[in-house]
Amino acid sequence: MHIIIGFLTTLAGLIWALHALQNSGFDLNSLNPFYYARRRKWQSTYGERPILNIDEPMTLGAVMAVGIAGRDGAITRETKNTILDMFQTEFGLQESGANELYISASHLLKGEDNLVGQMTNIVKRSKSSVSEEQYLSIMSLMKKVGSAEGIFSEDQSVLMDAFASQYTFKRSLNSKWS
């Protein structure tokens, strides 16, 4: 009998303690391991800067093209039109698709000052999906955009070298942007 009374007292004390913790603002769901794992997965996916979540080679190419154009300051209207034309010819997009790609690349680059230092992290998620042909296409796109306003600057060449150092390819026969 005394064992049952001790067990009931312990159970009542535990329930009282949990109730007091909940009233003081402690979330009892945080003790749930499934809730914790789901929350950590969400934080690791969406808690990072958007530029570090680039999965598609086309988006990576657009970010690199807009990034290299913006290395020397503000992007002029002529440079923007050049980039949009290159998106249409290189990626096979319509005018509206090229404009959307430019806007998304500009959004991803907003607030990013150290593209060269973050290049490993920027390329990490899309590195395995970029074929050699796509890599060469991105490099030529960067060269064309960088030289659109004249001479290729030192900052632009450093950014191109940082991007180029992320890839080593063996010959493959993948299609360009499919």
The predicted-structure confidence for 65-124, as pLDDT tens digits, reads as follows 999 988 877 888 988 999 999 999 988 999 999 999 999 999 999 888 888 898 999 999
Least confident of 40-49, 86-95, 121-130: 40-49
CB atoms within 10 A of CB 33: 7
Average of per-residue pLDDT across 39-61:
86
Predicted local confidence at residue 5, as pLDDT: 93
In this prediction, residue 75 carries a pLDDT of 86
The pLDDT value given to residue 21: 87
pLDDT > 90: what percent of the chain? 40
Of 85, 66, 171, 71, whose CA–CA distance to 116 is shortest? 71
Q: Distance between CA 31 and CA 122 in Å, rounded?
A: 34
Q: In the predicted model, what is the mean pLDDT of the chain?
A: 87
Q: What confidence score (pLDDT) does residue 176 get?
A: 60
pLDDT of residue 149: 77
d(CA 95, CA 108): 20
Residue 46 is predicted with a pLDDT of 78
* Residue 60 near residue 54 (C-beta atoms within 8 A): yes
pLDDT of residue 71: 81
Q: Which two tokens stand for residue 149?
A: 């306003």
Q: Which has more pLDDT, 163 or 45?
A: 163
* Contact by Cβ (8 Å): 132, 172: yes
pTM: 0.71
| Type of residue at 28 | L
Q: Is the dihedral angle over the CA atoms 121, 162, 134, 71 positive or is it negative?
A: positive
**By the 8 A CB rule, do 137 and 95 touch?**
no
Rounded-to-integer distance, Cα 138 and Cα 164, Å: 10
Share of the chain above pLDDT 70, in %: 94
Q: Which of these, 25, 55, 60, lies nearest to 142 by C-alpha position?
A: 60
Ordered alpha helix ranges (H), the chain: 2-23, 33-46, 57-69, 77-91, 95-109, 119-123, 132-146, 154-164
